[in-house]
């Protein structure tokens, strides 16, 4: 098994247990870790007992390839609605993961490996099934960055629905929002396509977005949609970014709350680059300068 597979498998096993809204296992009361705990890394035992293996922080970092720039970073934790990644979380070394060679030298580190994204997306699908099962849904995918998350989320919902008493019939539509130039948020949000929101009248709508920062862009879209009087509107975002200018908006479902960093990968782009990167990574200054327009 390669280094990247080992690191992802270690964290993915902890997240694949039952219980999705955050990292607490329902019924058992045990906390499941998406990432290592501060101080000592705990791994679920392969036996049915509650005993765990423990490694020192130094040993864990050597094994898991954690970025060594922070020695005592707070481990990502559950907020009850999503996984909160602290500002001092050091991320993972790029050396342990495969990624396109044309991005060598353009990235700082891996913030969220692909395997963890997939597992967290499945948990969000379970939460959505639990909340709005038996309802026909119009999934409104926000392009371009949201297409990968939307495709995976819809696929998970379909798989869960296929083997459940709760069947969700879904139709997928698309809208494009443009709110960034280079790495700076623009004042005015451009809504491209999806002009005829009147067809959403009386429908149950699930908006799927890649990342929400200040919330200004999502509020602009919601304002237009709500004028058409849909029956219900829910928002699912893979990422929520902590910014210096938040407006208090939080989506109904989100995967990870992240620091105020410019991230790329898993269809999130920087001037149309990095969409082909599987992991969510932090772009460095060299990458920003290289692809600046």
CATH class of 119-248: alpha beta
Residue 186 pLDDT = 54
Neighbours of 151 (CB within 10 A): 15
Compute the average pLDDT of residues 254-278. Answer: 96
DSSP tag of 280: E
Query: Among 33-47, 59-73, 95-109, 193-207, which range has the highest average pLDDT?
Result: 95-109
Between 140 and 13, the more confident residue is: 140
pTM of the model: 0.75
10 has pLDDT over 50 = no
Between 258 and 81, the more confident residue is: 258
Alpha-carbon torsion, ordered 205, 206, 207, 209, to 10 deg: -170
pLDDT tens digits for range 19-51 = 576 544 333 333 333 444 333 333 333 333 333
Measured distance CA(169)–CA(166) in Å, rounded: 10
Residue with tokens 């720039």: 69
Decide if 194 contacts 220 (C-beta within 8 A): no
pLDDT tens digits for range 112-134 = 999 999 999 999 999 999 998 77
Residue 80 pLDDT = 64
Measured distance CA(70)–CA(90) in Å, rounded: 6
pLDDT tens digits for range 75-115 = 677 666 799 999 999 999 999 999 999 999 999 999 999 99
Residue 242 pLDDT = 92
The set of residues, in sequence order, having a beta carbon less than 8 Å from that of 14 and lying 6+ positions away, is: 32, 33, 34, 43, 44
Residue 180 pLDDT = 56
The set of residues, in sequence order, having a beta carbon less than 8 Å from that of 176 and lying 6+ positions away, is: 142, 143, 144, 191, 192, 193, 194
């Amino acid at each position: 098994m390669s280094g990247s597979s080992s690191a992802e498998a270690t964290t993915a096993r902890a997240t694949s247990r039952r219980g999705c809204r955050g990292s607490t296992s329902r019924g058992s009361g045990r906390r499941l870790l998406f990432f290592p705990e501060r101080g000592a890394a705990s791994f679920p035992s392969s036996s049915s007992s509650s005993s765990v293996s423990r490694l020192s922080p130094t040993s864990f970092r050597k094994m898991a390839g954690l970025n060594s720039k922070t020695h005592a970073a707070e481990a990502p934790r559950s907020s009850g609605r999503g996984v909160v990644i602290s500002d001092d979380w050091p991320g993972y070394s790029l050396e342990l993961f495969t990624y396109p060679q044309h991005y060598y030298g353009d990235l700082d580190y891996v913030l969220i490996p692909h395997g963890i994204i997939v597992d967290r997306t499945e948990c969000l699908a379970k939460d959505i099934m639990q909340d709005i099962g038996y309802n026909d849904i119009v999934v409104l995918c926000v392009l371009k960055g949201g297409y990968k998350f939307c495709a995976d989320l819809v696929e998970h919902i379909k798989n869960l629905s296929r083997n459940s008493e709760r069947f969700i019939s879904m139709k997928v539509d698309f809208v494009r929002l443009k709110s960034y130039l280079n790495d700076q948020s623009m004042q005015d949000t451009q809504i491209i396509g999806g002009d005829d929101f009147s067809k959403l009248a009386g429908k149950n709508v699930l908006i799927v977005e890649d990342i929400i920062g200040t919330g200004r862009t999502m509020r602009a879209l919601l304002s237009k949609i709500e004028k058409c009087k849909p029956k219900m509107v829910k928002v699912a975002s893979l990422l929520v970014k902590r910014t210096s200018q938040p407006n208090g908006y939080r989506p109904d479902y989100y995967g990870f709350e992240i620091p105020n960093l410019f991230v790329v990968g898993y269809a999130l782009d920087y001037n149309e680059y990095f969409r082909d990167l599987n992991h969510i990574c932090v772009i460095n200054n060299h990458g920003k300068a290289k692809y600046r327009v």
